[in-house]
């Protein structure tokens, strides 16, 4: 009986061991399976993530590829628009410039041209314009002048440079100087300084006689008229005749007997500060009338003003 009991106990122990081993084995298998499933799940998840990332990157690449031509096309269109706009602006500027040039050409074509004759013997300048046949035969103005020893006695020249003020030989200045040839110019009676109230009045009273070294002296009014109305290239002819010309010989006011404040100014200067503008003649002596200008239907034409120029290295003849 005792031996039988031992045998049963031994069998029970073996059975429990078998059950324990079975449980351990089942646990191990279940654990491995779970781990495998987790790995598979992780692998699948990683695969999906990678696939999504790849797909996103691929989409981005495709989008970039698609967008870049559009951007290039937009940029190209923008550049074309800018080019077209610039071309339009350039064309507009060119058109405006051409219109301006054409307008200027029209004005220049309509501008009256003149021919100037200087009578050395009579000290008279006569300005002519064209007749219906295009010849300079119509007298416009006569001007009293003073020529000198170096003044050309014959020949035809063309005007060139213009100066509102010009340094002359003898360290004096002339207003509204217009070059005829070389050092020979039209200009006003000399001034001691480049100032309108420093006129050499004793020289002004010599107008109508030989008094210069070679230039052609004029009143300020007449010098300015040539400066304003006679374009560069105007022809100037010198000749000598006892006949002053078709308009005769003008006369000018003698100013040496007037107050200093008056005679320091050219009476014909149109400057608003000229004291002659407000002067009232009170002398009982008969006043020598100023020259009479020929009235014509012509209106003064504007000529481009030049800035004041003083050239100390090439002083002109003092007239």
Assigned domain for 72 exists: no
Q: How many domains would you assign to the chain?
A: 1
58 found inside a domain: no
- Print the domain residue range for 180: 115-277
Confidence of residue 101 (pLDDT cuts 50, 70, 90): very low
Q: Are 162 and 306 in contact (CB under 8 A)?
A: yes
CB 217 within 8 A of CB 207: yes
The one catalytic residue in 145, 183, 215, 230 is 215
Domain for residue 199, yes or no?
A: yes
In a domain, 176, yes or no: yes
pLDDT at 3 over 50: yes
Q: Let me know if 183 is a catalytic residue.
A: no
Under the banding of pLDDT at 50, 70 and 90, the label for residue 42 is low
Catalytic pick among 145, 183, 187, 230: 187
99: buried, middle or exposed (CB in 10 Å: 19+, 13-18, 0-12)?
exposed
- Kindly write down the DSSP assignment for every residue of 22-51, as one continuous string: HHHHHHHHHHHHHHHHHHHHHHHHHHHHHH
Is residue 308 within 8 Å of 194, Cβ to Cβ?
A: yes
Q: Which CATH number is 255's domain given?
A: 2.40.440.10
5-34 tens-digit pLDDT: 777 788 888 888 899 888 888 888 888 776
Q: What is the mean pLDDT of residues 287-297?
A: 40
Asked whether residue 160 is domain-assigned, the answer is yes
Residue 67 in this model has a pLDDT that exceeds 50: no
- Which range, of 39-48, 66-75, 98-107, 237-246, averages the lowest pLDDT? 98-107
**Could you tell me the CA-to-CA distances from 247 to 113, 124, 291 in Å, in that order?**
19, 10, 11
Give the whole-number percent of the chain exceeding pLDDT 90: 53
Please name every residue paired with 138 in a beta bridge, in sequence order, or none if there are none: 129
Residue 13: predicted pLDDT? 87
Task: State pTM to two decimals.
Answer: 0.58
Quick check: is 304 in a domain? Answer: no
Contacts of 309 (CB under 8 A, 6+ apart): 163, 164, 165, 166
The answer to whether residue 174 sits within a structural domain is: yes
Is the residue at 230 inside a domain? yes
Neighbours of 184 (CB within 10 A): 24
């Amino acid at each position: 009986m005792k031996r039988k009991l031992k045998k049963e106990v031994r069998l029970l122990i073996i059975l429990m061991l078998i059950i324990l081993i079975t449980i351990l084995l089942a646990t191990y298998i279940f654990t491995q399976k779970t781990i495998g499933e987790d790995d598979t799940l992780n692998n699948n998840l990683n695969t999906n993530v990678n696939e999504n990332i790849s797909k996103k990157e691929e989409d981005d690449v495709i989008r970039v590829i698609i967008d870049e031509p559009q951007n290039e096309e937009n940029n190209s269109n923008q550049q074309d628009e800018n080019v077209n706009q610039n071309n339009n602006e350039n064309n507009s500027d060119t058109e405006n410039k051409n219109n301006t040039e054409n307008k200027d050409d029209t004005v220049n074509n309509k501008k009256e041209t003149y021919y100037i004759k200087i009578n050395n013997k009579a000290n008279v300048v006569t300005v002519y314009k064209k007749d219906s046949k295009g010849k300079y035969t119509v007298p416009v103005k006569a001007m009293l002048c003073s020529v000198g020893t170096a003044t050309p006695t014959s020949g035809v020249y063309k005007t060139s440079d213009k100066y509102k003020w010009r340094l002359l030989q003898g360290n004096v200045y002339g207003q509204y100087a217009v070059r005829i040839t070389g050092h020979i110019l039209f200009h006003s009676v000399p001034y001691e300084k480049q100032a309108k109230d420093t006129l050499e009045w004793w020289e002004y009273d010599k107008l109508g006689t030989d008094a210069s070294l070679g230039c052609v002296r004029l009143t300020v009014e007449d010098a300015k008229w040539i400066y304003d109305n006679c374009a560069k290239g105007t022809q100037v002819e010198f000749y000598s005749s006892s006949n002053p010309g078709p308009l005769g010989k003008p006369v000018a006011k003698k100013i040496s007997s007037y107050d200093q404040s008056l005679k320091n100014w050219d009476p014909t200067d149109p400057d608003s500060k000229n004291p002659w503008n407000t002067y009232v003649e009170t002398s009982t002596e008969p006043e020598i009338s100023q020259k009479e200008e020929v009235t014509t239907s012509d209106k003064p034409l504007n000529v481009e003003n030049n800035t004041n120029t003083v050239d100390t290295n090439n002083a002109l003849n003092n007239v």
